[in-house]
Each structure stands twice: as C-alpha cells, then as structure tokens.
Structure 1
C-alpha cells in the first residue's frame, strides 16, 4: 500500500464507504473527531486518491433495468491495436457497467444492464457483436443476486497490514 493510514483514517474510510453522503460532522461524530480535523482528513484521503469519488448507488431494478448479463468476450487477435480499439469502443456503451481484462480462455468480462431480454438482444446485435476484433461473445443472464456490495473488506485489510 502506498499510503500510511492510522486508525482514524481506517474508521473514516469505513464510514464513508457505508454512507458517501455523510458530512464531515457526521463522520467525525462516528469516529471521535470534531468536524474540522475530520474534514481535513477526508480531503487528504481524496487528494491521495484513496477516495476516488463519492456517488449515489442507484437501484437498477427500481429504474427498470431488470436484466443483468455477464458476457465473456473473445477477440480475434491480441496484436496491434485490436485490444486498444476494443477498450475505446466498450467505454462508449453506457449499458456496460464494468469491463475487466482477463487471463485465460476469454479476453474480457463485461457486466451489462438492460431493461429486458429484447433490449439486451438489440444491444448485442447492434453494438456488442459489432465491436472491433470481436470473435465470440458468451452471455450469461443473472437470475438473482446473492450478494452485491461496493464495500471493501477494510477490517481484514487493516489487520493484515498491522
């Protein structure tokens, strides 16, 4: 880890990953600091990049995005600009929430949302299958969600780092 954190920093990070909208005063109350020193610590954590951004997590189902798909993508080739061209193109598709480069039998893993199967089918044929260098896409629909979190295991990490 590149940044030295003390016990208060760890507590602040834990509070903020549970409630990113919490004010410095609210966070300070929970970690035992007054507002100003807490605000300074939060600013430092943001400046160092440990806190990338604070966002609202939206409920996709409440917004009508009921179809969640995980897609494995294989490219034709890995040489030249094919990887970069794919990366640039995938960044412009808002339904693709996450894209990971993998090692193994597939090249990318995508997490995709759509309104329904018809909307995904249109996305698949009009955009995904047309991406540069794509040889094969295997789509898997998520039936239900067992666990979904954005919270990192800070307690475990802190214990391991001492």
Structure 2
C-alpha cells in the first residue's frame, strides 16, 4: 500500500535522504515547522515503514570492496518453489546487495560487491552456480559509476500532490 505523503512529509524525507543525523530542532528550523510536528512526522514515517532504515552509506572502494558485478541469472524451470528457493539462497550471500526478479528471458538480476575479480570467481563457482535450479549466469563487471545515490526522486511526489490538490479544488 502506498503511503499518502503531504508536502511537509516530502520535505522531511528530502532532508533526511541527505543527512539522517540532522537534529530534529535543526530540521524543524530548516523547514519552518515545529520540533514536535517534525518529530511526530518522522515517527509516523518510521512506524509505517516509509523510512525503512537509518544507515551509514560506505565508500566501497575505500574499504576494499572495489568490484561491482551485475549477474543475470536464468533458472532451469519455474516449478513451484524454485524461484523463492533461489531468493532465499541469495539472501544468505553477503556479497549480493540487491536481487531483482525480472520479466523477460532472464529471471533475476543480482548486484554483487566483492574485493576483486578473483573473489567474484570464487563466489561464482562455489556459491552462485551451485544454487539448485540455476541454468545460466551472465556476469558484467561495472567499470565506472557515473551515478551513485540512494536518494529517491521525491520531486515527482510534489507534482502528484499539486495535481491531486487541483482535482479536489
């Protein structure tokens, strides 16, 4: 279910996407609201799962995890349980930081982060290719990352709110 967000909620989320450590007092001042209103809004966004986690975003190269691989995985067959079993198996692999199911000729797209190509090769042969039902894996190594953000494009939500307000006026 989609959470209904007003403009203040969106503005709070924009600021928190930039710096989740901002004190509520400073957030309220920046947004022209009160501390208590901002605090209640943040709590509601947490309680409703809009804010899933508050985390530190690390520079993967600076900590020795400089290789990102995108692996497209095709399964042998789609018998009951095969796809959920695959998902459960990759959830146990810390190298897999994203797993998407796809429509089309490939079943899954995995984003995998490792220290070097040799580490990926070990992961490929010893873990990923050993998961039951895997038919084919096509791997691509990322060279340069031109866009690197976790920020969602909240500007669209303002436009949606403005269109909704015009319809109810």
Do both share a fold (TM > 0.5)? yes
Structure 1 runs (4+) greater than 6 angstroms displaced: none
Structure 1: runs of 5 or more not aligned: none
Distance 2:10 2:132 in 1: 43
Partner of 2:129: 129
> Does 2:104 correspond to 1:104?
yes
Q: Is the 8 A contact 2:95 2:114 kept in 1?
A: yes
Distance 1:149 1:142 in 2: 16
Distance 1:84 1:2 in 2: 24
How many pairs align? Answer: 162
Q: Deviations over 1:15-54 (max 9, x none)?
A: 0111122221222122112322211111011112211111
> Does 2:104 correspond to 1:91?
no
> Does 2:6 correspond to 1:6?
yes
TM (norm. structure 1) is 0.95
Q: CA deviation at 1:10?
A: 1.2
Distance 2:26 2:45 in 1: 17
Partner of 1:39: 39
- Shifted more, 12-21 versus 91-100: the winner is 12-21
Superposed CA RMSD in Å reads: 1.2
Partner of 1:58: 58
